[in-house]
Structure 1
Amino acid sequence: MINYRTYEAEDFLFDESFRQWTAGTSPQAAHFWEQWLAQNPDRAEVVRQAQELIRALDNHYRDDATDNRIALELNKLIAKAAERREAEQEEDTEHPVIPLGQRSWWRGAVAASVLLVAAFSTWFYLGRTPKPAVGSYEYLTRTVATIPLQEKVNTSPKPMNILLSDGSVVTLNPKSRISYPVRFDALSRTVYLNGEAFFDVVKNPAKPFLIYANQTVTKVLGTSFLVRAYCREKEVTVMVKTGRVSVYSQKDYEKAQQSGVRRVEGVVLTPNQQMTYNLAENRLVKALVEKPAALVANRPSREQVFEDASVARVFSSLERTYGVKLLFDEEALAACLVNVTFNEENLMERLEVICQTIGASYEVLDGQIVITSKGCQ
């Protein structure tokens, strides 16, 4: 059993499952690392550093970020760092050079590891990528977030459904990314978005749901709505399908939070209303949705009608509609039949109706929903 707690940032670079998790290419790797991080929150900063290094390499070399390529570039960076230290030593004799010589870059001393991470981060990441702007997605996920986050990136041409720990479902559109905690904290449910996503948020008045996206904050208690906030675009759009949503500029929202002011100047939206935030003018504009159908243009229809349908069939339909896994004992529920029609209800509301009908219960575990029931007579 590998003791990952002893790993430094550079050690994680050579773990294939860790790289797969960072790239979002393996559900099995994601399950393992999200669980490991939840159990080892004190290692969150080291994990974040390692992920930044991997993304820097992937962005630079695209499909050629192999172990050999990583090793080659790390060796180059250590050599450059050593030359730089020697040059500094000539100017300031009070700082002795740490001789690298033939020292192993892979299992070197702590000093070499610190030098490695600093040199690599500066050379590949900070040196080639502009420093994240305050309020940007990168800044928020790396600097502002107070608990460890996991990230989902949709590089496919189709929408991607993501089940959050509270039961809310996010439909992430192509070329979009979202960061969120494995489990929300006790006070709020906060996620960070770069791109476009449709949210079906489970109601919880005690824990507001917050979406930080391109200098805006969208706050809800439970509803369904679309947020479009690409970092390259000059406007942010929020469109409401059901319920009630409040939208603020991030600057005004955080200023109010810091000063303890209860009332924040923003825009309240109801169904078929939208808000457009102009970043250049720092202005929120409220209007009616011009074409309500456009709100769900990239989202499959979620209307469902069941007549004398077996529960197994209903659950399978929910799986396909929402893209989430439902675990249940099909044999135990074989005699359970339901008659129900769904239209605007979110996933959790639909499960509540079905479970009450057949005397079952459910819970969200590791991105899946587990159904518990004694069956039907």
Structure 2
Amino acid sequence: MDYRAYQVEDFLFDESFRQWTSGTSAQATAFWEQWLVQHPDRVHVVRQAQEMIRVLNNHYRDDATDDRLASELQRLMNNAAERRDSESVTPIVPLLQRTPFWRWVAAAVLVFTIGISGWFYINISHKAAATSYANLTKITPVQLQEKINNGAKAVNLILGDGSVVILQPKSRLSYPRQFAGANRTVYLNGEAFFDVVKNPASPFLIYANQTVTKVLGTSFLVRAFDGEKDVTVAVRTGRVSVYKQQEFERAQQLGIRRIQGIVLTPNQQMIFNLEANRLTKALVEKPAALMPSVGTQEQVFEDAPVAKVLTAFERTYGIKILFNEADLSACLVNLMFTNETLLERLDVVCQTIGASYEVHDGQIVINSKGCK
């Protein structure tokens, strides 16, 4: 089935799509969430269809007779037509009275698509404006100074607490001359690498394009340009927590200490898709050794258990590698690595023992049937 050609009404007719939207099928949920990640260009249409399904489900939950549905649909269509100053609306009640629910809902979609599109545009635009760099730096009660990099090379900054920021071209950062209070808060529009001085008593917060990155002391990169659909946070060392800004601020207002976000460790990254409003965790494109000098040194394994090799990779790159030690207990290898990347080293190990690996949620999973 080629879902890429689906329009709003097509999604409404699809049973698994309705199950996903209604939360009644784990299998449907897994399929559609994965499909949406693979086809981000269809997010807008999918969100329209989901909103229609939720509205109609809620509205007709207790009285979903054909007569009731047809009557309500006619009323909504008439109202929509009046709002568009349409000349007239052709009565459709007789046609709909014997039509199954999900078949005639498509007619409503044709009427509401413009309205729903407008609703999404207004709400998303309002949200983006309220959480924009310009708005946040304007409403903060703390006096800020701003560094703008209009040059062609990165610029180094040293903040009041000693933290170092490497600000990339076409980027700007607003920050107080001296940090005070419970948090060390800065505002970013663009891309910057942060090397934050550790201070458990005063977390470091970076507000960037509808996200908040919270750290105690570590080094990491944030990319959040206005106009780009994704925000990226990639960790080099330490531990970083990333939240959606609205959820973070709501938790702060309510005094909630534990809120849902994404925790990143070395060589992991978070990608926040603004259109889908979804945080996802993955490995960085090129995992680097925690100590660069170690990563460039030779690693030699003679008659070594594969489990020992994988554990050595974990220590070198700080990435969790999941495997069944019992399955690999009979696997011995003779390998030498010099300048290979982590993924290249994993390729060699897996080819040697007839295994494979996959990257899931920022971790590496080894699939193997063992060695004879």
Compute the TM-score of the two structures, normalised by the length of structure 1: 0.43
Compute the TM-score of the two structures, normalised by the length of structure 2: 0.43
Structure showing greater radius of gyration is: 2
Select the structure with the greater relative contact order (CA < 8 A; seq sep ≥ 6).
1
